[in-house]
Chain A
């Protein structure tokens, strides 16, 4: 009887073990420990607006940097970042490992724009890029005059501007140490010059962004002036300053203050266009 009950128990155990055979599952592989990342920032002495970034990481084999512009760059544990313009920048350090990635970030406050090199350190350039410029709307301002360099109002001594000219805006800016941009915002219309039909009437807006160069050397065009800005060659009427039939791509800055800007286009041999602008 005892044997019998043991046998029954054995049978039962055999049932259970057989039908639970499939219950044994293999351990799954492990993902691994997640990466850890930390970031330290220090200014680079002697290099304006430049900072040294140092990342430290654990359980990682790949690193990326976000230098404050949202773009990721694959690099090692060390990086440097330069900010041209002042502002607050959030730099990030990404460390990737077999168990995932980690990010550390730090904000860098850049107190000033980088004005350590020409033309950023030139007072004329600094005034030029500091404002948005518009034609002087005063009826007596003679905002646009035309004539030879020695008698700049000889051909056209000025007069009231068309409304489509009065709302035009010119903004100079520096996007880096070496790249400068002129933005022309025509608003609703651009006033056609003599090179666009219908002549001397408002036409469709010709707003644009264009690079320009800045120089304090007037020699190539001669005449009066304290500096020049040069637009891409052969550009009118696509790219211009003041009027669509501007006679050349080199514009002389005759004078500039925080509120006024006088620009003359054209060299000493040609008829020149002189524009009087005020800060917006």
Chain B
């Protein structure tokens, strides 16, 4: 009995112990979450056990209760407007104080060759994070920057898969001539080329920081004048392995197609144009023919062809996969990403595929030694028709609707004198296959110096290798005509031709860093020293043969040698640099940064290669002052300013310090045989040097009402001098050559940037945010060394860079009286009349109006295709698991000069667009457009303000609707998080410009238009 009792007691005890241990295995933790500034409890804060799906939210009193498994000891607390916080489970009752979002200013921001606390940054840096990048369904990462931050002016000039990258101008255009404004691209501390940036998979990017002012970019010295785009890729985090898979699929279609007139309307207007040119002419299109166009009963003889629609009218699919793994221990962390992008073109012969592979590995070798190895590879395959995009769209925009494209029996038609663009894009016409394979590596080893606190050294080796292969096989397609007896004659096509080229490049960069960072009570000090050396080289070999008699063997050997070409090229580049940067702050209140970089660029003569680029910046965090402590509405306020000099050695020709000779092929005959020869080129200028950019910034940052509002404002000014240009002087023919380029150009560029943010949680389940940014950048050429005899109206000095020049149109000659009483162009006196464009008589040879329109009346018409003002506003609403985000982006102060078929009716017998229905006729004398004509070279087609269109636009750049699946559903599929979303790009465009996209940059409209994207996707995290 006693024994039995003992056993029972023992079992009871064991049971109690087991229960107790079970209780401990999943202990309940309770707590309160309050805001730091207000001290008030926060309702709706999410508390999640790190690494699990266990989550709870706070009630009205700010309290929560959550079961924490025994193997977990960290809670992650999130609340809109507050900085995320990881809280160790130190007891069963926790008191958690959330810091306002402005404390996010404590977050670390990547700067040139280092990181800084955001609140302590004195330069001008904007950040785009991965969430915004993946929200944008674009293949080219440059387009994901559009509208996201101030100071970054993007212009996507076309939408061709694999070539649709945006031009990026950081704070506008400050150079002219052959100089470039392309920013410097730096990926994880290594300077890469634009494509290495733009073809990154957005899923492998953690953040993109744009360095805009002298202080932030000065560490890049000679390469930093155009601003710097710093990309930081994702890195592994210690903890359980996380696998993420995302897939999205979508459709592209053209943002806007021109409103081309159909055959009937075209015919009616053609008759009118013909009789305008010759009143006694017979109408080209009889009423019977016009009626046949209208009826459409005989499309072979009386077609109504919409060429644009045939070439671009469909939809193209796009698809993207990404699989990534992230995890590791305290010693080893890894991030691996595999990306695949497949973008089809609007015609089957066009398409782009990209494979991105990246592994970022971090190994903590010892407590003071860290090694990182980043290996990224990119494979790009682009298929395109053998004919150039320009060629295809020249004929697509030019062909009139009255010409057949394809006969009812399927034969491709010969449309009059022009090329049938359907033949130019058909698979039968051959292909242009481009394959680019790129390997980018980055190895870093960092050693902390144990006996000097805060001191570390780092060595970096980056080795890149790239290969590209292009093969163009061009087989002209036979085209047919219909005979009077309804039979068809197919004309023989020309002989095929083949071009091949191989290129390869490699680059090696070595860096040595010395880093020191330490805080002495209220004194924060950091210093950085950089030694950098880079060498790169590339070579290319190309060959072609024409007149192939067979299409069986698409290889060079199979072609005839007559007319063959062969060429090659090699280039080597080098750079040697040193840089130093020192930061000091007093109590995080007064901030100063000084930097200096020395560069040696082999683009210049040996004694002109070394340049020094200093910068100084100051900051004052006003809210750290005692007098601000009682102003609770202002949580953070900082003034900042910087000044510095940067350079740009990216000049059109590297060896201007040598006398040069140009190779002239097959132009000199000796013994009846043509020989190659040399002619003197530009004279040497041994003083050539880089462009010097002196930048000044003044700005402020503020966070108000506990993060409810945020303001960033900057005034910037850049004076870029030593721009390469050639003096506008005539030299005697006996000189025998051209004048050299000299560093004499000066441009001034200034403007403002403004960013406003607003975050608010309305209820426990509903919150929203709004963000707007505005950039205005105006430039002016101060010095261009123009010739003294350039008419005042044509001078570029004192005017915006890259502007349009031509005649000032002041309307249309409304009637004969108006025509008789107005100055006219002397060159077209025989062919002008009422209904033609009237130009302003601004000047004459003596500088005063002379009653004649001639070259003295040419004047500045507008700033050109780069917008002076860009703006964007984005926002989002989050309701429970639903999320809605949008981005509008716009530009103003921008023009496009449209010519030829994108503006003029019947240019070269080509198309007519819809606006021409409202043209001048005697009974419509107040029409906006002039009278019609079939002549291409006449008064109305002069370069004038009449054809300079306002290209301002507002675009619904991006929309996303997303739903995150609840945990109960996730448990069934074993995933942590599933997000389903639909997003779109360029969904609506509001603009005055007709027929072309407002971002187009081809005056003739010969471009593959920008795309509107509808995209659906899912991302799963395991």
Contacts and interface: CB of A to CB of B under 8 A. Distances in A.
A99 interface: yes
A98 B924 contact: yes
A26 B275 CA distance: 30
Contacts, number: 75
Contact of B268 (A18, A19, A100): A100
A72 B280 contact: yes
A221 to B, nearest CB: 44
Contacts of A102: 287
Given A31-B917, A62-B275, A62-B279, A21 B879 contact: no
B987 A21 contact: yes
Interface string B242-277: 000000000001000001000011001001100100
Contacts of A89: none
B918 interface: yes
Nearest to B882: A11
Interface string A5-25: 001000100110011011000
Contacts of A64: 275, 279-280
Nearest to B278: A74
A69 interface: no
A28 B259 contact: yes
A27 B514 CA distance: 66
B875 interface: no
Contacts of B283: 94, 96, 101
Interface in A87-131: 94, 96-103
A73 B280 contact: yes
Interface string A54-66: 0000000110100
Tell me if B's interface is mostly helix, strand, loop or mixed: mixed
B259 A14 contact: no
A208 B782 CA distance: 78
B987 A19 contact: yes
B856 to A, nearest CB: 36
A64 B282 CA distance: 9
B265 A11 contact: no
Nearest to B259: A28
Given A29-B915, A29-B917, A99-B268, A61 B882 contact: no
A96 B956 contact: no
Given A62-B275, A100-B268, A100-B287, A22 B280 contact: no
Tell me if A's interface is mostly helix, strand, loop or mixed: mixed
Interface string B439-465: 000000000000000000000000000
Nearest to B279: A74
Contact of B982 (A15, A97, A103): A15
Interface in A1-53: 7, 11, 14-15, 18-19, 21-22, 26, 28-32
A100 to B, nearest CB: 5
Contact of B287 (A21, A73, A101): A101
A62 B280 CA distance: 11
Contacts of B918: 29
A22 B988 contact: yes
A22 B987 contact: yes
B961 A11 contact: yes
Nearest to A14: B961
A19 B283 CA distance: 45
Nearest to B983: A18
Contacts of A61: 921-923
Contacts of B914: 28-29
Contacts of B275: 62, 64, 74, 96
B984 interface: yes
B986 to A, nearest CB: 9
B731 interface: no
Contact of A19 (B259, B924, B1014): B1014
B280 A31 contact: no
B488 interface: no
Contact of A98 (B259, B921, B956, B984): B921
Nearest to A24: B988
B418 interface: no
A65 to B, nearest CB: 10
A45 B541 CA distance: 88
Contacts of B924: 98
Q: Please classify how large the interface on chain A is, using the bins under 10, 10 to 19, 20 to 34, 35 or more.
A: 20 to 34
B917 A18 contact: no
B987 A18 contact: yes
A96 B879 contact: no
Contacts of B988: 21-22
A15 B282 CA distance: 54
A37 to B, nearest CB: 11
Contact of B290 (A11, A21, A100): A100
Nearest to A18: B959
Contact of B917 (A14, A26, A30, A97): A30
Interface in A146-185: none
B725 to A, nearest CB: 44
A19 B984 contact: yes
A209 to B, nearest CB: 27
A94 B275 CA distance: 12
Given A22-B1012, A31-B917, A15 B279 contact: no
A19 B253 CA distance: 12
Contacts of B923: 61, 97-98
A11 B924 CA distance: 49
Nearest to B283: A101
A15 to B, nearest CB: 6
Nearest to B291: A100
A62 B1014 CA distance: 50
A103 B291 CA distance: 14
B325 interface: no
Nearest to A25: B259
Contacts of A101: 268, 271, 283, 287
B586 interface: no
Nearest to B960: A18
Given A28-B914, A31-B917, A96-B271, A72 B282 contact: yes
Contacts of B264: 31
B268 A31 contact: yes
A214 to B, nearest CB: 33
A61 to B, nearest CB: 5
A32 to B, nearest CB: 8
A18 B290 contact: no
A228 to B, nearest CB: 39
B484 to A, nearest CB: 22
Interface in A65-86: 71-74
B287 A74 contact: no
Interface string A244-256: 0000000000000
B884 interface: yes
A12 B96 CA distance: 39
B258 to A, nearest CB: 12
Contacts of B882: 7, 11
A99 B924 CA distance: 12
Given A30-B917, A62-B275, A14 B287 contact: no
Contacts of A97: 923
A11 B881 CA distance: 12
Nearest to A31: B265
Contacts of A18: 959, 961, 984, 987
* Most B Cβ at <10 Å: residue of A22, A31, A32: A22
Nearest to A29: B917
B281 interface: yes
Contacts of B884: 14
Q: Which 7 pairs between the two chains have the least Cβ-Cβ distance?
A: A74-B279, A29-B917, A21-B988, A100-B268, A61-B922, A61-B923, A21-B987
11 contacts: A11-B882, A18-B987, A19-B984, A21-B956, A22-B253, A29-B915, A31-B917, A62-B922, A64-B275, A72-B282, A98-B921
Interface of A: 7, 11, 14-15, 18-19, 21-22, 26, 28-32, 61-62, 64, 71-74, 94, 96-103
Given A21-B987, A61-B922, 11 more contacts: A11-B882, A30-B917, A64-B275, A64-B279, A71-B280, A72-B280, A74-B280, A98-B921, A100-B271, A100-B287, A103-B287
